[in-house]
Amino acid sequence: MARVRVGVNGFGTIGKRVALALEKQPDMELVGVVKRKPDYIAMLAAKKGFPIYSPTVKEAEAFEKAGFRVAGTLEDLLSRVDVVVDATPNGQGAENKKIYEKFGVKMVFQGGEKPGVAEASFSTLCNYEETVGRQSLRVVSCNTTALLRLICTLDKAFGVERVRAVIVRRAADPREVKKGPINAILLNPPRLPSHHAVDVKTVLPGLDIVTAAVVVPTTLMHLHHVTLKLKTAVKAVDVLEALKIAPRIIVVSSEETGIKSTAEIIEAARQFRPMNDVPELVIFEESVAVEGGEVMLFQAVHQESIVVPENVDAVRAVTGLAATTEDTLKITDKTLGLRKTLW
Ligand code: NAD
């Protein structure tokens, strides 16, 4: 079977990880990546042998001066692919859409774009099958992807009636040296709900959900405290059982492993995982409690990598490469090495 040809526009935090993941898919061919500047991140593309394209001819000259081979411009790449994954900064994807449409390619956007950029917002565990064959999809943000993985897992097992979540956001990605705050806890925003609840509803429109968010001076991971009212009476042990067998979720016991912080999750990942990425959602086992008919828990989210498997699935959805959630999970999770432990 001919492989689907994919290009990645924007080779930053998300784009480089998505490109590395697409390269591992047996049913996809990574045709090239668009990079704007010939910096140390471009070196990764060169070392991996990914053909490098530049947004326009002007940027190509800087690459050639720096000793990089350039395969062409964004438009050249678009003429050679079936799907483009846009991983450019917030808002740039909507600008790029006009060029993508000119070439008639299928499109996958990121959560930094407004929902209207694509025909549907996307979360593998919640709406894969409804989105098969769409022209464009938007993979929701890292925090929303995490919330939706949890909500749809528990909804499938017990039914979810209501969700309340407090989101403690990392201030910046590790390489972003100019962002803050460096000594504050910032209400984000002061008025409720935060945009995360709104974003969850782009996938689950009928859900009763309210989120509040703060930003803290850390770069490693986000942390959520989530309270869910389920449609079925459960004990903590039932919830844990459902989470332990669910795809893309790791349940970590603080008592058994000593891991009780985002720093220790990332330290474990440094020992066992390439680029210390944790694309699985990490739930702290002992934090799972049931009180007054509500389930409560803490979960940690590796913002740099959690959306990567969903991007791969979104490519499968727009191209119809897999008809069911199960089919795409099977390929993506195996090729990306997703598992039930951090080791
Ligand atoms: P980033 O700044 O790390 O990477 C963006 C890349 O695009 C950079 O390399 C930049 O030079 C390049 N670029 C800028 N303008 C370009 C253009 N016109 N053409 C081609 N390339 C261009 O950003 P990121 O963190 O990877 O975010 C990308 C998208 O993913 C955003 O929508 C963001 O909201 C979303 N997202 C980010 C995270 C995260 O934690 N970083 C998590 C989930 C989703």
**Structural domain count of the chain:** 2
Same domain assignment for residues 37 and 134:
yes
Same domain, 256 and 132: no
CB 73 within 8 A of CB 54: yes
Kindly state the helix (H) or strand (E) to which residue 6 belongs, with its residue range: strand 4-9
**How much is the pTM?**
0.98
Q: 276-280 — which CB contacts under 8 Å span 24+ positions? A: 277/17, 277/302, 277/304, 277/305, 277/308, 278/221, 278/250, 278/302, 278/305, 278/306, 278/342, 279/248, 279/305, 279/306, 279/308, 279/309, 279/336, 279/338, 280/248, 280/249, 280/250, 280/306, 280/338, 280/339
Query: Are 108 and 173 within one domain?
Result: no
For ligand 1, the distance from its centroid to the CA atom of residue 112, given in whole angstroms, is 9
Q: Band of the pLDDT at 1, cuts 50, 70, 90?
A: low
* Mean pLDDT within 80-90: 98
pLDDT tens per residue, range 215-232:
999 999 999 999 999 999
Mean pLDDT value across residues 45-53: 98
Q: Is the CB of 10 under 6 A from ligand 1?
A: yes
Residue 340 lies in a domain: no
pLDDT band at 171 (very low <50, low <70, confident <90, very high): very high
What is the pLDDT at residue 335? 98
Q: Both 93 and 238 in a single domain?
A: no
Q: What is the mean pLDDT of residues 24-49?
A: 98
CATH number at 201 reads: 3.30.360.10
> Which residue lies with its CA nearest to atom 12 of ligand 1?
10
State the distance from the centre of ligand 1 to the C-alpha of 110, rounded, in angstroms.
Answer: 9
Atom 37 of ligand 1, nearest CA residue: 14
Q: Which atom of ligand 1 lies at the shortest distance from residue 88's CA? A: 7
Closest ligand 1 atom, CA of 37? 11
Q: How far apart are CA 100 and CA 112, in angstroms?
A: 18
Confidence band, pLDDT 50/70/90 cuts, at residue 2 = confident
CATH number assigned to the domain comprising residue 108: 3.40.50.720
Mean pLDDT of 193-222: 98
Whether residue 341 lies inside any domain: the answer is no
Determine, yes or no, domain membership for 343: no
The reply to whether omega before 55 is within 30° of 0 (cis) is no
162 and 237 in one domain? Answer: yes
Range of the domain at 258: 142-301
**Catalytic site positions:** 142
Distance 105 CA to ligand 1 centre (A): 20
- pLDDT above 90: residue 50: yes
The model's pLDDT over 103-153, given as tens digits with 9 standing for 90+, comes to 999 999 999 999 999 999 999 999 999 999 999 999 999 999 999 999 999
